[in-house]
Amino acid sequence: MKVVKFGGTSLATAVQIRKAVEIIQGDDQRQAVVLSAPGKRNSQDIKITDLLINSYKEKTTGQDYKTTFSKIRSRFVELVDLLKVSVDIEAELNIIEQKIDAGTTLDYVESRGEYLNSLIISQVLGAEFIDAADVVRLTEDGRVDPQSYNLISDRIKQVKGRFVVPGFFGTGPDGEVKSFSRGGSDITGAIVARGVNADVYENWTDVSGILQADPRIVAEAQAVPEITYAEVRELASCGASVFHEEAISPVRDAGIPINIKNTNAPSDSGTMIVSTRATDQQPVVGVSGKKPYRILNAEKFMLNRYPELPGQIKAALKQKNLFAEFDMKGFDTLAMLVDSSDDFDTAEIGTFIAANTDVDDCSFGLSVALVGIVGAGLPGQTGLLGRMLNALDENGIEVRSISYGGSKMTALITVNLENYEQTLKVLVAQMQS
């Protein structure tokens, strides 16, 4: 059995929904279907989930929420109309509106886009609708409760043929509807895949797989045919938004591969996310970055004797609402990357740290970006990283620091902020050469 999950852009309009339906019906193995709420129809549009959240907020702050709710209403009414299904959508919407009026929870309100969309599309498919509230359990802090796997496997024993489960929510320990973090339909898909012990978890989106870099920066970035769960995690930690992080562990633990596919180009093979892969063809899978940071340079004679120093510096930064990532230790020096998304007075903070910690001296360098070069083939091929760094050098990009992430499959480099985009372009060109 294949579990198929369609994201919001794949379901934003009746035309997109028909494409998804065709994909589902094109393969008898695609029996378990998990759906997001309708997403943006164009770049100016607002996702149904955001409209729902807005209406909740407007209600709780005493503003008029009916105007926002009427936009939600007309989108669903139009969908039912265009898809010619017999769902009593007005009645469903009335229940939701009444609940908002009576002061229901945000979790309930924001989850209704998935609920309604799944109700409608299950009818188009002639498939059984299974409410996620009955089969998905969340822990108090909004994570997957593994009970869900058994609930799903028990429930599907009674199902003949296809079924549809709305993504993004389930039931919390208090018995009330609870939703995952944003983008959480990916998690539902993973739970269902684990519960039915799927052969593959197909995740349908609007790109033909995981790309080598953010296509808004590197237009030439191509889809990666195969990537490991661990590489996906590393790319995500370096800032790439590839796949919901919490959606990985349910399937990884059961060894179920994830296939990222494109609803608008279904014959593209997309990306397979697997446990292990041969790295000779594609040693590096992607590059991704985070910015802006300021490099904090602290000096301490005999640094090794002061293991508490990094913690002291971080505590001092926290007092000023600043956060550091990625410590790089030398013999008598310590460097950290301090998030500078909100600009700050470096001289003042340097003095504050010097006065409130045991450092001998503390100063800040220029604004930089952190770039991760990720690939399970990286540790085995020392010459490869050298070539990539060389290419940066030839393009006049100065690499300010080089280190490895926790695992040797990620090389972390820092470059001047103004070189960020060019760095990604040069690295992708190297990956493709």
Side-chain half-sphere of 378: how many Cα atoms within 13 Å? 25
Residue nearest ligand ASP, Cβ-based? 185
Phi/psi of residue 266, each to 5°? -65, -20
- Reduced to 3 states (helix: H, G, I; strand: E, B; else coil), residue 183 is coil
Q: Take residue 250 and report the two structure tokens written for it.
A: 């349910």
What's phi and psi for 304, nearest 5 deg?
Answer: -55, -25
Neighbours of 81 (CB within 10 A): 11
CB 387 within 8 A of CB 379: no
CB 120 to ligand ASP: min, Å: 15
Tell me which residues in 8-27 interact with ligand ASP (CB under 6 A). Answer: 8
Nearer to ligand ASP, 129 or 420 (CB): 129
Instruction: Decide: is 49 part of the binding site for ligand ASP (CB under 6 A).
Output: yes
Report if residue 372 touches ligand ASP, rule: CB under 6 A: no
Tell me how far, at minimum, the Cβ of 55 lies from ligand ASP, in Å: 14
Interaction between residue 250 and ligand ASP (CB under 6 A): no
Q: Which is nearer to ligand ASP, 75 or 277 (CB)?
A: 75
Residue reference for tokens 């596919």:
261
| Nearer CB in complex with ligand ASP: 50/58 | 50
Residue 326 CB, shortest distance to ligand ASP, in Å, is 28
Site for ligand ASP in 289-348 (CB under 6 A): none
Quick one: 23 or 322, whose CB is closer to ligand ASP? 23
**Of these, 2, 47, 252, 277, which contacts ligand ASP (CB under 6 A)?**
47
Instruction: Give the CB-side neighbour count of residue 294, counting CA atoms within 13 A.
Output: 21
Residue 188 Cβ vs ligand ASP, minimum distance, rounded to whole Å? 8
CB 243 within 8 A of CB 192: no
> Left (φ > 0), alpha (ψ -120 to 50) or beta: where does 74 sit?
alpha
Residues from 149 through 188 that contact ligand ASP (CB under 6 A):
167-168, 182-186
Q: Tokens 């083939």: give the residue.
A: 377
**Tokens standing for residue 246:** 């919490």
Which chain residues interact with ligand ASP by CB under 6 A? 7-8, 36-37, 47, 49, 113, 167-168, 182-186
